[in-house]
Amino acid sequence: MSADRSTPNTPPAAGGAASSGGPAPAGDTELIRFDAVTKRFGAHTVLDALDMKVYSGKHVTLIGPSGSGKTTILRLLMTLLKPDEGTITLGGRYLTHEEKGGKLVPASDRYSREVRKNIGMVFQQFNLFPNMKVLRNLTEAPVHVLGLDKDAAEERARELLELVGLTAHLDKYPSQLSGGQQQRVAIARALAMRPQVLLLDEVTSALDPELVAGVLDLLRDIARSTDITMLCVTHEMTFARDISDCVMMFDAGRVIEFGPPEQLFTDPVHDRTREFLSAVR
Amino acid sequence: MRFDWSAVGAFLPTFAKGLLVTLQALVLGSLIAFALGLVWALAQRSPLKAVRWPVTAFTEFVRNTPLLVQLFFLFYVMPEWGLTLSALATGVIGLGLHYSTYTAEVYRSGIDGVPAGQWEAAIALSLPRRRTWTAVILPQAIRRVVPALGNYVIAMLKDSPLLFAIGVLEMLGEARQFSSQTFQTVEPYTVVGVAFIALAYPASLLLRALERRLVR
């Protein structure tokens, strides 16, 4: 599919992400950067002055116990949440702030929309538009956000439906599809926007066990065949090991350990990581 | 008491005129109620207090005062301020305005019923706010509330005889006029009563069928 994407293809170097003080692999472009990002829900601090970088084209998996802040990171990147403190940048542009008169102010809706066009997200509950057929779910945003004409958007939608193996279902409503099929449409819908970054929020958690493999295989394909930067929250450790350049272990709003999957899964440094991994295996 | 079928026959031509007026008031009143109700519902979600508060105050006021008082106000007080409308136009506006405050609540519940995930998906696709409303949220919200809106059309039908109080010759008005001219009361009022049932009951059956189809 997106061989014509404008983002440069980066070599699959290890250590694509780093927490505060982590070394940046030479030659890689920094795409996402969290600077001292704090997010609280009431008295509960979900993210605590988090520093994080993700390099272009890397596949990063966020693991950790529930409530450790993994999903919050994805939701902050998608601007579904706003940070209480700190800033987030995408390709050097602020995401939830903008500079006005030399000052950093909360971003306007228009500005946020412009920056986040480069980010796509796939949700646990699919969130397809039930009032639109599959094809229009895929063309709605390309036509009304990217300004593609209807024919071009439909042609691209058909290509993506072929990629996800659902060409036969383009004229159906989401409610006529199985959970696994709906999630594959949701993945295609996110890809239709040609995002630089794809956020995957526990995309198989709501699926029946027999449907999980199909969706994960599709994501493996996408990870292999495209240069999209992926941030993935999952409990599927085998999948995480397969696709990730870097795994980040979260606990209580902080990254306590990160590294390539073969290192983090086989020889974790932190006790908390060891406990978590033995619990989920 | 004797039921005179010939009086029914004599009443029918004027009844037909009244029926037409009732249906006119109902259709136009419904259109106003549906459109204005949506305006109120959207205004009540405005981030601006200066929009939200006056609209909330106005809709609460209208909802909590009787329609008959509102009709009298529109018909007898507005001309003092230089706005004179025909009885039927006043009736249509009165019905529409009054019921718009109810349909606003219906729309509000429909909008609240759209899952948060739909808003999130719209944000994730960077859809502009207007497009999010028109293509994603409202089609789903309105589909859910069509049966409830329909119930208010039936309620409006049953409130339409109030228009007679400001001189609109709808079904009841025509019956009253017929009976005062002919001194026959049983026949015209019976015809009007039967007409209301003949309109309202099939409509409520239709709504129930719609509800089964739409609210899934």
- Across the interface, do A190 and B121 touch by the CB < 8 Å criterion? no
| Token output for B161 | 């005889």
The residue whose two tokens read 């259709």 is: B27
- Cβ-based contacts of A95 with chain B (< 8 Å): none
pTM of the predicted model as reported, rounded to 2 decimal places: 0.85
Q: State CA A45 to chain mean position distance.
A: 22
The tens digit of pLDDT for each residue in A71-105 reads 999 999 999 999 999 999 999 999 989 988 889 89
Q: State CA A258 to chain mean position distance.
A: 17
Least CB–CB distance from A129: residue in B126, B136, B216:
B136
| Position A5 in a domain | no
- Total of domains in chain A: 1
Q: What is the CATH number of the domain that holds A270?
A: 3.40.50.300
Of B23, B36, B160, nearest to B102 (Cα)?
B36
> Residue A233: how many CA atoms within 13 Å on its side-chain side?
21
Least CB–CB distance from B128: residue in A121, A144, A175:
A144
> Domain spanning B5-214: which CATH class is it, in words?
mainly alpha
Rounded to the nearest integer, the mean pLDDT of chain A is 87
**DSSP 8-state symbol, B48:** -
| Position A275 in a domain | yes
- Across the interface, do A109 and B143 touch by the CB < 8 Å criterion? no
Spatial distance between the Cα atoms of B143 and A130, rounded to a whole number of angstroms: 11
- Cβ-based contacts of B141 with chain A (< 8 Å): none
| Position A186 in a domain | yes
Residue A11 has pLDDT above 50, yes or no: no
Of A116, A45, A53, A57, nearest to A83 (Cα)?
A45
The tens digit of pLDDT for each residue in A31-80 reads 999 999 999 999 999 999 999 999 999 999 999 998 888 999 999 999 99
CB pairs under 8 A between A and B: 62
- Cβ-based contacts of B115 with chain A (< 8 Å): 127
| Token output for A9 | 């293809």
The residue whose two tokens read 């958007």 is: A153
Q: What is the mean pLDDT of residues A162-186?
A: 94
**A130 interface with B at CB cutoff 8 Å:** yes
The per-residue pLDDT for A68 is 86
Domain, as residue range, for A155: 59-82+117-280
DSSP alpha helix (H) spans, B113-185: 116-124, 129-131, 138-159, 171-182
3-class DSSP state of A53: strand
The tens digit of pLDDT for each residue in A252-279 reads 888 999 999 999 999 999 999 999 998 8
- Across the interface, do A140 and B127 touch by the CB < 8 Å criterion? yes
